[in-house]
Amino acid sequence: MIKDNNGRSMGLKMRVYKENMYNNYPRRILRRLILPGFKLSYHGIADWFLFSLFVLPSYFGIRLGFFDLTGLRFFEVLLLCCICKNSKLRRLFFDLIAECPNKIWIATYLMVVVYTNLIHPSIGTIFYWIMNGVVVLFCVTFLVKYEYGLIAFLNRIKAFTWILCLISPLQMITGTPPFAILDTLGKVSTTSRFGTVRIMGNCTVANGYAMYLMILFPLMCYDWKNRRIDFWKNRGLLILMVFNIFMTGSRLTIGTLLLGFFLCLINLSRNQFYNFIKVMIVIIPVTVMLIYCLKDTSFIQSLLRTFFSAIDEVLNTNYAVKYGADATTLYNSSYYRELLWKHTILGDWLNPLLGRGGNYKFGMYVEGYRIQSIDNFYVGQYITYAWPGVITWLLMSGSFLIQSIKNWIRRKSAFMAVISISIICYFISLWYLDQLQTFPFMMAIFGIEYAFLRESVE
């Protein structure tokens, strides 16, 4: 008979418990070190999946033979394992996929991606669109509907946005992106314009971070408790997001920010609108006077330079030059996009039915310009996947936009309004920039939309 330290006999259950406790002691310590505050379970993995999606940079991971195992992909795999090993969760997850009204367009685009990157071998590109696109979409849908609920999910996004917007501006002091300490894949390179540092947040480039913030901005204008658009609900965070967007130096995002703000403004109730106008009548003059008094400081100069660069792009003026911008640089930045369009989609050197694949290295000399970056997502899709890729991508993404606009108009849903505004601003951004590793965030928005509409139907 086995006895304990006091000489008393131990039952079979107690013996098994103590044996397991001692045998699993290293594992329990490991759990605490890796997941402090969480159990190594489905719920803990779900939290870490969201953190990896919205906060961890895409350059944090391990480089494998044919693709990069980023933090997001690692927690995706763990989350899928947790879902699939539970019969109930597995059934619910595959029901979501089977009942998705957009699945035909998703499958069609994915088919173009697969066959193009098999003909022009690029396995990493196939993994990118599956893991960072399709899997993100359905995992987010699943978590919104069956794990958190919409309000709790949006609260988590709000917390993640606070983290990003508080940490990212530290780059202006240190000169190095704070998230660069996680750069295990060697993708970070700091950028500046006209001598001013452009903050990058958790993205690889400043423009990508600006696009990411603009995806989230409309959501933060939504009061999810009262189900209406309300600028004052998260006003502190919205101001911080606007500050971060200006610090990225992205002219394009200033324009989409104004557009998104205007579209949210016209969806306010009458009382909210009048109250907002009253507050702005006080705030705008005070802000203008403050800027005027500090207009000679380098910080205010950089803000004005970014703002007027966006104005100049639309009105074809040169106000930004007064604040230190180089007119030639700004002109070249705009003109080469025209050359890019003219010599790719309107050119004759590309096969319109079969793209060059994800591994194709683009580059050309036109009229003395060396064009290497494809600052137009739609042009990039044409080069990579030809017309089949462009058309199926538009059908896939456009199907979500059409759904959100229909519910915005028919049901007067404020939440569908902010979802639509987010997608519209993103589509406009893609006309001037590549997706810059931001598509997982937009797929997350698609997932939130699908979960909301499915909940509404049920």
**Of 199 and 303, which is predicted with more confidence?**
199
Q: Residue 424 pLDDT more than 50?
A: yes
- Residue 261 pLDDT grade (very low, low, confident, very high; cuts 50, 70, 90): very high
Cα–Cα distance between 272 and 59 in angstroms, integer?
42
Q: Residue 26 pLDDT more than 50?
A: no
Provide the token pair at 302: 């950089």
Provide the token pair at 182: 């996680």
pLDDT score recorded for residue 16? 41
Calculate mean pLDDT across residues 159-182: 92
Lowest mean pLDDT among 107-116, 308-317, 413-422: 308-317
- Residue 223 pLDDT grade (very low, low, confident, very high; cuts 50, 70, 90): very high
Cα–Cα distance between 267 and 247 in angstroms, integer?
28
For residue 363, CA distances in Å to 191, 242, 342, 359 come to 21, 34, 14, 13
| Contact (Cβ atoms closer than 8 angstroms) between residue 398 and residue 108 | no
Q: Residue 131 pLDDT more than 90?
A: yes
pLDDT score recorded for residue 307? 83
pLDDT score recorded for residue 179? 92
Lowest mean pLDDT among 17-21, 193-197, 245-249, 421-425: 17-21
Contacts of 201 (CB under 8 A, 6+ apart): 164, 168, 177, 179, 209, 212, 213, 244, 248
pLDDT score recorded for residue 345? 81
Q: 10-36 burial, b for 16+ CB within 10 Å, e for fewer?
A: eeeeeeeeeeeeeeeeeeeeebeeeee
Q: Residue 194 pLDDT more than 70?
A: no
- Residue 456 pLDDT grade (very low, low, confident, very high; cuts 50, 70, 90): low
Q: What are phi and psi of 62, to 5 degrees?
A: -125, 130
pLDDT score recorded for residue 287? 87
Q: How many CA atoms lie within 13 A of 182 on its CB side?
A: 17
Lowest mean pLDDT among 122-126, 184-188, 377-381: 184-188
Q: Residue 106 pLDDT more than 90?
A: yes
Calculate mean pLDDT across residues 49-63: 93
pLDDT score recorded for residue 40? 54
pLDDT score recorded for residue 395? 96
Out of 98-102, 296-300, 345-349, 358-362, the most confident range is 98-102
pLDDT score recorded for residue 272? 87
Question: What angle separates helix 270-293 from helix 298-315, to the nearest 10 degrees?
Answer: 120
Q: Residue 37 pLDDT more than 60?
A: no
Calculate mean pLDDT across residues 307-315: 78
pTM: 0.87
**Of 137 and 68, which is predicted with more confidence?**
137
- SS3 call for 229: strand
pLDDT score recorded for residue 457? 53
Closest CA to 443 of 90, 104, 208, 141: 141
- Residue 192 pLDDT grade (very low, low, confident, very high; cuts 50, 70, 90): low
